[in-house]
């Protein structure tokens, strides 16, 4: 949502500074910017997708740790 043209315009409009590279957007002003949000159905889809990604990351991390232990065991057998 922050990358949309309207959002960027509002961020600049509510910011303070003498030049574009020195603009500051304070919370009290940021809080006044009205932003749209996805409807509940879309939020549910997004949450579901992110949960599935989290599960995949968890499984891959477990697999990686298992492979590291396996490698360690093989190296110990090789150099005993």
Instruction: Check pLDDT > 90 for residue 22.
Output: no
Q: What is the rounded (10 degree) CA torsion for 7, 11, 47, 56?
A: 110
Kindly list the distances between the CA atom of residue 4 and the CA atoms of 10, 11, 43, in Å, as whole numbers in the listed order.
10, 11, 18
Q: What are phi and psi of 24, to 5 degrees?
A: -130, 135
Question: What pTM, to 2 d.p., does this model score?
Answer: 0.54
Q: What is the pLDDT of residue 54?
A: 98
Nearest C-alpha neighbor of 38 from the set 23, 22, 30, 49: 49
Decide if 43 contacts 58 (C-beta within 8 A): no
Q: What is the pLDDT of residue 36?
A: 78
24 beta partners: 16
């Amino acid at each position: 949502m922050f990358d949309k043209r309207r959002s960027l315009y509002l961020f600049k409009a509510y910011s303070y500074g003498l030049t574009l590279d020195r603009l500051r957007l304070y919370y009290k002003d940021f809080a006044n910017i009205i932003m749209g949000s996805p409807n509940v159905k879309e939020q549910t889809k997004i949450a579901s997708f992110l949960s599935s990604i989290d599960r995949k990351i968890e499984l891959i991390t477990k697999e990686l740790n298992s492979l590291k232990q396996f490698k360690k065991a093989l190296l110990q057998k090789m150099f005993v």
